[in-house]
Amino acid sequence: MAGSIEQIRDYIIEGNKNGAVAAVEQALAEGISAASILNDAMISAMTEVGARFERDEYFVPEMLISARAMQAGMDKLRPLLVQSGVQPLATVAIGTVKGDLHDIGKNLVSMMLEGAGFAIKDLGVNVDPDKFVEAVREGADIVAMSALLTTTMANMKNTVEALKAAGVRDKCKIMIGGAPVTQTYSDEIGADGYSPDASSAARLARQLAGA
């Protein structure tokens, strides 16, 4: 049993998508629970991938390849997790802010968050502040905004203001990131946190969720 878990973990860390899917299927056939596969293999693997990124052993391409292997395994697992009532740490509504079409970093952050045990509601790119408000009204616990353009960063502030105006600011935590974004800007606009990369984003989200 430990062998299958170890194998899924290794395949994800190596970024072997087909291997990861086959190993998840094998683990399920052996009767290992979806929750154990999620926690002991997937989350553990993505934590290791994040650690390697922070030690400069992995870079964005390696992290993306591992995240894609994790997601392929998750596609097998997701229906079973729902069936067995496994609760995510929290629901994150993630999107690239209005006016901004860059989504490579946002997608990577999204995959790392899923790998860390969060349910993801991906709002896509060019996301209007009202869409974030709607997502919080529908139950999102964390609003996660990405911006790559200095000109669109202002829409992070506009989204914080829209959440306040709609009376739902205290129902969610707000995290932001993207190349031009800084901790100072996060403080300035009243977000709850900033992270510079996908690996630290997963850590920040866990903190914000109190996990």
User: In the complex with ligand B1M, which residue's Cβ is closer, 45 or 148?
Assistant: 148
Q: Which residue in 1, 51, 104, 211 binds ligand B1M (CB under 6 A)?
A: 104
Q: d(Cα 85, Cα 82) in Å, to the nearest integer?
A: 5
What's 40's DSSP letter? I
Q: Does 211 bind ligand B1M (CB under 6 A)?
A: no
Q: Give yes or no for a contact between 82 and 35, defined as CB atoms under 8 angstroms apart.
A: no
Q: Which residue in 177, 202, 208, 209 binds ligand B1M (CB under 6 A)?
A: 177
Site mask for ligand B1M (CB under 6 A), range 42-61, x = bound:
------------------x-
Q: Does 128 bind ligand B1M (CB under 6 A)?
A: no
Q: Give yes or no for a contact between 95 and 55, defined as CB atoms under 8 angstroms apart.
A: no
Listed in order, strand segments (DSSP E) in the chain are 91-97, 119-127, 142-146, 173-177, 193-194
The residues binding ligand B1M (CB under 6 A) are 60, 99-106, 108-109, 144-146, 148-151, 175-180, 195, 197-198, 201
